[in-house]
Amino acid sequence: MAGHLIRAFSFTQKDYQTLSEIGNTPIVFYGFTKVFEGLKEGYWIKLGNVPIETTFEPPMFNATKDTPHYVQKSYDWYIWKGDFGNAKKIGEMTEQCRDVPFSSVVFPKSIVEWLEVGKQVIT
């Protein structure tokens, strides 16, 4: 991957005073993006940082070697968690894996759209 793994939270800045309070709100999604580009382009602002919890459990992602825009139906889907090197081939996409985020690095603008729309937007 050529991006950063992020956790997206949905909150209004006036509702939360500290990073700990934000970190205790529900996670909307995990995704990969280019954090520094998003900051530079003004899609988000840096409030600070907190260490990753020792209990952090990596999220699950799905991927395919096919190009979804060109292949009607792929039988080459994988799911992975934490390390793409340990991806498990599932073949055809299953219902339980359909809502798992696609493991691609998305543009910072797409992260904002993902929050607004409520699902991953691949552009």
Domain ranges of the chain: 1-57+103-123, 60-100
Per-residue pLDDT of 8-62, as tens digits, reads 887 777 777 788 888 888 888 999 999 999 999 999 888 888 888 899 888 999 8
Find residue 49's DSSP bridge partners. none
Torsion sign over Cα 97, 103, 107, 112: positive
**Look-up of token digits 């050529």:** 2
Report the pLDDT value the prediction gives residue 60, as an integer from 0 to 100: 93
Q: Residue 58 phi/psi, 5° resolution?
A: -60, 145
> Does the pLDDT of residue 68 top 70, yes or no?
no
Tell me: pLDDT of 123 over 80. no
Alpha helices in 1-123 (DSSP H): 19-23, 35-41, 95-98, 108-117
